Amino acid sequence: MKTFAIIAAFAFATITSAAVASANCRIHNDTGWDFKVESGNTFNQSVSAHSTTSIAAGKIIGKDEKSGKTISGSCKDGDSLEIKDDHGVPVLSVK
């Protein structure tokens, strides 16, 4: 019985962590800046200039190392975000 409880707990943890790991947001960078982004519990995600990619859902903090420009915000699983250039200021918004 003890072995069954351990196996059941492991299976539950595996299924739960897989569901969390798959939570993501689509992000389109419509600027000339390349951002390194932290979101959710995931670090060092690249959002290159003029590209679309997926990042982990959660609180977002990003920085372009060359210019020092930053973005911040948050997204929920399934959100579509966009980074636009507003007169030299990167703006992160939900599409």
Task: Tell me the average pLDDT of the chain.
Answer: 87
Domain limits at 55? 24-94
What percent of the chain is modeled with pLDDT above 70?
77
Q: Is 5 contained in some domain?
A: no
Q: Is 14 contained in some domain?
A: no
> Would you place residue 19 in the very low, low, confident or very high pLDDT band (cuts 50, 70, 90)?
very low
Q: Is 6 contained in some domain?
A: no
Q: Which residues does 52 contact at the CB level (< 8 Å), separation at least 6?
A: 26, 27, 28, 29
Q: Is 80 contained in some domain?
A: yes
Mean pLDDT for 2-16 is: 58
88 is written with which tokens?
A: 């030299």
Number of domains in the chain: 1
User: Which one-letter amino acid corresponds to residue 19?
Assistant: A
pTM comes to 0.75
